[in-house]
A and B are shown apart, each in its own frame.
Chain A
Amino acid sequence: MSLLTVDSLSKAFGGNLVIDDLSLTVRPGAVHSIIGPNGAGKTTLFNLVTGIYTPESGRILLDGAETTGLAPYRMAGLGLSRTFQNLQVFFNMTALENVMVGMHLHCDSRFLPAMLRLPRIVRRDAEMADEAAELLRFVGLADAIDADSDALPYGALKRLEIARALATKPRLLLLDEPAAGLNPAETGEIDGLIQRIAETGVTVVLVEHDMRLVMGVSEHILVLDRGTLLAEGTGEEIRHNPDVVAAYLGEEGRYL
């Protein structure tokens, strides 16, 4: 049984096929990586899976249930969450409030109870604040809980997005270039964080260019090239796959 199934998916922008009859599956558990050269369609695939784009053809199934064409806000309820390559932090809120938005589906978000400030709304808000603080500690932002998010450094914002995504209680977490723009020490910390997330039973799929991170953390690697699946397998298999080497890693494999 696969957690995520992509079946003959195609997406075009202005007649240009960015995803070309792509099929792949992600089994539950563990960390999976999607790699490939720029323009291979990695982020487009994320945007299709999360419902931001609608495919021209093909199907997407989450845990066996078809989700093709569902509005993006429906996906969180089905156990899918993500972070963004270009940060999408709520800069008008504190770090804690950012994470609390992630719990939107785990609380009463109707208008009238909120407007009348019913006791259970106040109680649940206090619980959520505690849970959100706990998540911020989990991603290593214990010092930033009450900070305005626009005052946080770049590396902290990357973790904040991860904490916010975890707050939705996902079964499948998509991380879009979690290490982009980070220094080697910060990348090492993200590596550890991804492993800790996987240990909690969340299936992680990341798109990443940092080969050290990809090879270190993922049990299963999918290689995209021009919108199709070029290869998949363990890090060792990918490293020695001649197609992958030619398309992406370079003849010498010098990025490994």
Chain B
Amino acid sequence: MRLRLATPRIGGMLALAAVIAVLPLFLPNNFYFDVVILVGLNAIVCIGLNLLVGYAGQISLGHAGFFGLGAYASAILTSTYGWPPVAALLAGAAGVGLLAFIVARPIMKLRGHYLAMGTLGLGIIISIVLTQEVDLTGGPDGMPVYGFSVLGWEPSGVLVWYWIVGGLLLLTVWLALNIVESPVGRALRAVHGSEAAAQTMGVDVVHYKVLVFVVSAVLASIAGSVFVHYIGFVTPSEAGFVHSIELITMVVLGGMASIYGAVVGAAILTMLPQLLTFLHDYEMLGFGAIMMGVMIFLPKGLVPTTARLIRDRAR
């Protein structure tokens, strides 16, 4: 049993590290690097979101709001106020964490569809504020962001950004696996499985719901900060409803309660629109058909279903 816990952990981390290390050799130009870097950033958000949705069983349709807040916090603090980018990133993450902590207590009392509506509303409010505060955010046109630097070092070129995002992704996977395979991870899954039983076992359900909501929001914020420095520009659509839905779709497609599932889901849904461009006008049609097919034939998501197949085959 200890072996079964250990294998996906070390094996998966090694496999992911190998993919990240080798991938640049197969990327012919900047466009591909661009797509892969976005995969990495989306994966970081989805790992956090999967802790909330897949493990703790709490839906959020507003997580792009936290991503957008992180992005704008970095943009405004560095460009308008001249903060060092790392300080801005940390301040953004702390601010988003605080906001998530404050709204979590009332909002996590909601369940099922009502929680979906509550988080949807939260995301919409954030997106409206970012659009309306024109003096601060540049409004619907967005705002530019100037370069990133750490203690005087300025990363330039896609390859450097690739390594930064790749490293952050590996770190996030490691931390998330640590959480999952610990008393905290079991408490989160217990909250999902049965709140009544979790309480009876001494699990403070409200505490863990608030905790995982804050953690997932902070991860989204950090990804947003890195995103804005890489792209150099941010618009309110990053915080919008459509982006929130994309994120939750990545989690469901890759597999609920699966850290690697979040990575795979983010990779597929970020790359698919690029790969389907040969369909021209029918691109979205193909995209939708693939989504429906996966949900009908692999309802538990790609990674858990595949893992189960391999496990059953091995028996």
A residues near B, CB below 8 A? 50-52, 71-77, 81-82, 84, 88-93, 96-97, 100-105, 107-111, 114-117, 121, 125-126, 129, 133, 145-146, 161, 164-165, 167-168
**Are the C-beta atoms of A146 and B4 separated by less than 8 Å?**
yes
A90-B200 in contact given A104-B187, A114-B182 (Cβ < 8 Å): no
**Are the C-beta atoms of A90 and B189 separated by less than 8 Å?**
yes
Q: Which residues of A contact B184 (CB under 8 A)?
A: 109-111, 114-115
For B185-209 the 0/1 string (1 means CB < 8 A from A) is 1110110111011111111110000
**Are the C-beta atoms of B1 and A146 separated by less than 8 Å?**
yes
A81 CB → nearest B CB, Å: 6
Q: Which residues of B contact A165 (CB under 8 A)?
A: 200
**Are the C-beta atoms of B178 and A76 separated by less than 8 Å?**
no
**Are the C-beta atoms of A93 and B189 separated by less than 8 Å?**
yes
Q: Which residues of B contact A164 (CB under 8 A)?
A: 197, 201
Asked if B113 CB lies within 8 Å of chain A CBs, one says no
Asked if B175 CB lies within 8 Å of chain A CBs, one says yes
**Are the C-beta atoms of A145 and B1 separated by less than 8 Å?**
yes
In this complex, how many residues of chain B approach chain A with their Cβ under 8 Å: the count is: 31
Known: A90-B189, A110-B184, A167-B201. 5 other contacts (CB 8 A): A71-B199, A73-B200, A75-B200, A75-B202, A88-B197
Q: Which of A51, A102, A114, A161 contacts B185 (CB 8 A)?
A: A114
Expressed in whole angstroms, the Cα–Cα distance for A198 and B182 within the complex equals 31
Q: What are 28 A-B interface contacts by the 8 Å CB criterion? A: A72-B200, A73-B199, A73-B204, A73-B205, A76-B202, A88-B194, A88-B196, A88-B200, A90-B189, A93-B193, A101-B190, A101-B201, A102-B201, A104-B183, A104-B187, A105-B201, A107-B183, A109-B183, A109-B184, A111-B184, A111-B215, A115-B175, A115-B178, A115-B182, A121-B183, A164-B201, A168-B200, A168-B202
Q: Which residues of B contact A168 (CB under 8 A)?
A: 200-202
Q: Which residues of B contact A90 (CB under 8 A)?
A: 189-190, 192-194, 197-198
**Are the C-beta atoms of A89 and B193 separated by less than 8 Å?**
yes
